[in-house]
Amino acid sequence: MSILRYTIFRFGTMLLTLWAVSALVFLIINLPPGDYLSNQIAELRASGQSAGVAKAEFLRKEYALDRALWEQYMIWIGFLPGPHGFSGLVQGNFGWSFEFDRPVRDIVGDSLWLTVLVNVAAIIFVYAVALPLGVIAAAKSRTWIDYTSAFVGYLGLATPNFLLALILYYYGRKYLNIPIGGLMDPIFEGQPLSWEKIKSISVHMIVPTIVIGTAGASAMMQRLRANMLDELGKPYVETAIAKGMSPSRMLAKYPLRVAFNPFVADIGNLLPSMVSGSVLVSVVMGLQTIGPTLLTALKTQDQFLSGFVLMFVALLTLIGTMISDILLVLLDPRIRYEGRES
């Protein structure tokens, strides 16, 4: 099987998995009793507002919420025609947010790319910090460099993200004049992309990138150090040095390549875990990402909005996993994308 065929195969399995995840997401969203409109109807009836009840009942029929659960799911995905024909996720219709009284597409439009931008920057920070520190700590094992990097790593793991955000915001504003809150100056919100807007986003992203990426960088640095130490203790390392290979060249050519596999494998989990784990950070720091929107949608049982956001996170997970699988095949010749021949 060629790498192209393997890529096509992994893309097909990704789509099937995404379909299964969509069913699971829809089921979990509907596990709590009632929904946004049902709760609203109950409140309106209790207060005697008949006009509001009639509007809510109309919306239930308009968005097929009065049908069986399996029909709601198939209409939401776009596999069955609803009141307006085939109009689901497959057709590009993300649904309607009852909490914000707007289409889901309008609510998440700007926050989607800002979410990806912030978390991609955090991932770059994770790799840029963890790779050199992990390698140096392993190469200088049981020295002050190793102990210092271990202390910094444990400190990064132990410090809550929101607390680190508050500390960095206070001292960043006091000594470096770093702007506080948001991902851009308010004057640029809703404006087309320009050089000034890019500069504003870049400055505002310094603290969020460090806050979101610190814990991941600390954990990955410790894991890389452990893997490197395990490889450095194997006989082939001593053989390579005995044959005259310089320690730095040997380190990069053999142990690092093997120890680097977890870095590549973590791509599939790192991005979605940062998106889901940065919800509280986004609320504290006032970031215009998708995290606060998801929190509001789950609290109010806004099923179309929360369903789309969860599907977006699932899509990130599956894309990241597919990329990591393909990269592992390309980087490590011991890994094969077909079964062992008998």
pLDDT digits (tens, 9 = 90+) for 185-218: 777 777 777 888 888 888 888 888 888 888 888 8
CB 299 within 8 A of CB 254: no
Residue 52 domain-assigned? no
Chain Cα centroid distance, residue 217: 15
Residue 85 domain-assigned? no
- What is the model's pLDDT at position 21? 92
User: What's the distance, Cα to Cα, between the start and end of the chain in Å?
Assistant: 16
- What is the model's pLDDT at position 335? 63
CA distances from 328 to 16, 35, 324, 332 (A): 22, 43, 6, 6
Residue 96 domain-assigned? no
Q: What is the CATH number of the domain that holds 151?
A: 1.10.3720.10
Instruction: Write out the two tokens for 152.
Output: 């910094």
**Rg of the chain (C-alpha set):** 25
pLDDT digits (tens, 9 = 90+) for 57-77: 888 888 888 888 899 999 999
Which band of pLDDT confidence, cut at 50, 70 and 90, is reported for residue 95?
confident
Of residues 281 and 78, more confidently modeled: 78
pLDDT of 1 over the 60 cut: no
- What is the model's pLDDT at position 74? 93
- What is the model's pLDDT at position 276? 64
Residue 136 domain-assigned? yes
Residue 260 domain-assigned? yes
CA distances from 309 to 19, 188, 292, 329 (A): 15, 25, 11, 31
pLDDT of 342 over the 70 cut: no
Query: Using CA atoms, how far apart are residues 235 and 138, in angstroms rounded to an integer?
Result: 17
pLDDT of 49 over the 80 cut: no
pLDDT digits (tens, 9 = 90+) for 322-334: 888 888 777 766 6
pLDDT digits (tens, 9 = 90+) for 244-269: 877 777 777 777 777 777 777 777 66
pLDDT of 130 over the 90 cut: no
Mean pLDDT of 274-288: 71
Which band of pLDDT confidence, cut at 50, 70 and 90, is reported for residue 340?
very low
Chain Cα centroid distance, residue 79: 27
Smallest CA-to-CA distance from 28 within 316, 314, 268, 320 is with 314
Which band of pLDDT confidence, cut at 50, 70 and 90, is reported for residue 277?
low
Residue 293 domain-assigned? yes
Containing structural domain, residue 203: 104-331
**Under 8 Å CB-to-CB from 250, ≥6 apart: which residues?**
237, 240, 241
Burial of 190 (0-12, 13-18, 19+ CB in 10 A): exposed
CB 290 within 8 A of CB 275: yes
Number of structural domains the chain divides into: 1
Q: What is the mean pLDDT of the chain?
A: 81
Residue 68 domain-assigned? no
Alpha-helical segments (H) within 179-259:
195-204, 206-232, 235-242, 247-253, 255-259
Residue 150 domain-assigned? yes
